[in-house]
């Protein structure tokens, strides 16, 4: 009966209910770690069961999006599970999906990218006990594994615009819980503001991860608002959610999230607007979001005593340049194979783990790491050209290019701390077509 009631609800009302439930869930999970643990295992088991039983390949993508969107919420709620649980789960979901597809085309460059990163895993096996070796290797390689499987699966997927919309909403929904937790800690408690990343306004968790996850949530909420074919209420709701994600990302005082989102939108705006039949609506919607941000930012800056603007005016890179310099020195000493996965941190100031994926690959994988990321860049370049040339992708090329640009910026400042960049890269390889006819044609082999 409840299912029928939900199916009969108007779409905007259903969206409000989904987002509101995740707001309540996020606040409850932050206070009760047992609930967070229950949500983690229930989500993963449900996603696996659905992926094994569904007849529609796009549903696997939706499950992966929900798991990835929940990752930071699980971590900040101290769910009792592995730190890399979401990366493992996303990889497993895409692997299951690949096995169940009727015909599979494996992009050779995606496979080569991962293969080139594997030799450096030998060194920590020699130097560390097995448990330490496992943690070191999976912390750094679980991201590339998820990225590779996401590309392999999504490059074989043809989905409708409606299915793409549901995948975006699936990622954004659990981030409403993250938004609620950070809003509560930012405005309902006494906060001391400085000019460094603020753990309190980040809900007591890592500002970098919170800011970047909210930024991708804003990007996918914007994508969903542009894909939605229903009334203006739905578009306004999703655009408003994107603005809220962006503002709270800024309030973490971690600049990477907002800057990566802004850079992505600036770089992809020409293709987002050019030749689109709804160009006027898109431009009006983006202008409205920018206006909201322009009006809200001075208020937030006043609330922080001017520290927010001061933070974003800083030109320093929060020590990342020192880590990158150390990585370069390590590469010069160990140029061929690098020092091994996870070992570069012993050469960093204070033993800090690498924050830039590209320099981490340089120091830990050596020339193999250079070859791996040149392979990935070439693959993305070819995909970008294909997106621009494909007539059927013309309405969505700006969106797909944005999903390609954002993870590259993410890896520049956060390495591959979460599954989000790998998922975003994979989604850039989707073939999105208008209409819902595809939903009746695309089926698993069994």
pLDDT per residue as tens, the chain (446 positions): 444 444 444 577 888 899 999 999 999 999 999 999 999 999 999 999 999 999 999 999 999 999 999 999 999 999 998 889 999 999 999 999 999 988 888 888 999 999 999 998 887 777 777 776 677 788 889 999 999 999 999 999 999 888 998 999 999 999 999 999 999 998 988 888 887 888 889 988 889 999 999 999 999 998 888 775 666 778 888 888 999 999 999 999 988 889 999 899 888 878 877 655 666 666 777 777 778 888 888 898 899 888 888 888 887 767 788 888 888 999 999 999 889 888 888 888 877 888 889 999 999 999 999 999 999 999 999 999 999 888 877 778 888 999 999 999 999 988 898 999 999 999 999 998 875 444 445 567 54
CB-hemisphere CA count at 13 Å for 387? 26
**Dihedral in degrees, nearest 10, Cα atoms 132, 138, 140, 144:** 160
Question: What pLDDT does 53 receive?
Answer: 93
Which alpha helices (DSSP H) does 319-434 contain, by range? 320-333, 357-365, 367-389, 397-414, 420-427
Question: Residues 161, 432: contact at Cβ < 8 Å?
Answer: yes
Q: Dihedrals φ, ψ of 158, to 5°?
A: -115, 115
pTM of the model: 0.92
**Helix, strand, coil share (%) of the chain residues, nearest 5:** 75, 0, 25
H or E segment to which residue 202 belongs: none
Question: What pLDDT does 440 receive?
Answer: 44
Question: What pLDDT does 5 receive?
Answer: 43
Question: What pLDDT does 233 receive?
Answer: 77
The tokens for 249 are 């990302």
Closest Cα to residue 114, out of 82, 84, 137?
137
CA 136 centroid distance within chain: 22
Residues 242, 245: Cα–Cα separation, whole Å: 5
Residues 412, 356: Cα–Cα separation, whole Å: 5
Which alpha helices (DSSP H) does 228-254 contain, by range? 232-251
Question: Residues 208, 254: contact at Cβ < 8 Å?
Answer: yes
Q: Are strands 431-433 and 158-160 parallel, antiparallel or unpaired?
A: parallel
Residues 146, 41: Cα–Cα separation, whole Å: 19
Own/partner contacts of 31-34, CB < 8 Å, gap of 24 or more, are 33/77, 33/78, 33/79, 33/80, 34/80
């Amino acid at each position: 009966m409840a299912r029928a009631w939900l199916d009969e609800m108007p779409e905007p009302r259903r969206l409000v209910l989904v987002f509101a439930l995740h707001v309540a869930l996020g606040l409850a999970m932050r206070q009760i770690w047992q609930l967070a643990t229950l949500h983690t295992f229930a989500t993963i088991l449900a996603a696996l069961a659905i992926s094994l039983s569904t007849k529609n390949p796009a549903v696997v993508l939706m499950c992966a999006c929900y798991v990835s969107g929940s990752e930071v919420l699980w971590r900040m709620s101290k769910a009792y599970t592995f730190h890399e649980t979401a990366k493992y789960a996303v990889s497993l979901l895409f692997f299951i999906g690949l096995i169940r597809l009727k015909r599979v085309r494996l992009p050779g460059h995606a496979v080569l990218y991962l293969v080139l990163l594997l030799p450096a895993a030998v060194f920590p096996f020699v130097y560390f006990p097995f448990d330490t070796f496992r943690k070191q290797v999976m912390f750094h390689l679980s991201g590339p594994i998820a990225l590779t499987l996401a590309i392999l699966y999504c490059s074989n997927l043809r989905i409708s615009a409606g299915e793409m919309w549901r995948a975006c909403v699936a990622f954004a929904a659990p981030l409403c819980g993250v938004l609620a937790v950070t809003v509560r800690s930012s405005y309902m408690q006494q906060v001391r503001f400085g000019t460094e990343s603020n753990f309190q306004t980040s809900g007591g968790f890592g500002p970098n991860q919170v800011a970047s996850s909210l930024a991708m949530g804003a990007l996918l909420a914007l994508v969903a608002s542009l894909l939605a074919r229903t009334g203006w209420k739905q578009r306004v709701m999703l655009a408003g959610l994107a603005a809220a994600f962006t503002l709270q990302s800024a309030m973490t005082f971690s600049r990477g999230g907002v800057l990566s989102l802004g850079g992505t939108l600036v770089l992809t705006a020409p293709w987002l607007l050019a030749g689109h039949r709804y160009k006027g609506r898109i431009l009006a919607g983006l202008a409205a979001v920018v206006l909201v941000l322009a009006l809200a930012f001075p208020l937030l800056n006043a609330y922080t005593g001017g520290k927010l603007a001061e933070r974003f005016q800083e030109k320093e890179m929060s020590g990342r340049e020192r880590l990158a310099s150390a990585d370069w020195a390590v590469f010069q000493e160990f140029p061929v194979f690098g020092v091994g996965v996870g070992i570069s941190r012993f050469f960093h100031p204070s033993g800090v783990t690498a924050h830039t994926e590209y320099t981490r690959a340089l120091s830990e994988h050596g020339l193999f790491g250079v070859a791996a990321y040149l392979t990935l860049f070439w693959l993305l370049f070819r995909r970008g050209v294909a997106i621009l040339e494909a007539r059927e992708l013309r309405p969505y090329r700006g969106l797909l290019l944005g999903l390609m640009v954002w993870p590259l910026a993410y890896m520049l400042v956060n390495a591959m701390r979460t599954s989000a960049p790998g998922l975003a890269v994979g989604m850039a390889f989707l073939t999105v077509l208008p209409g819902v006819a595809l939903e009746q044609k695309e089926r698993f082999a069994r």
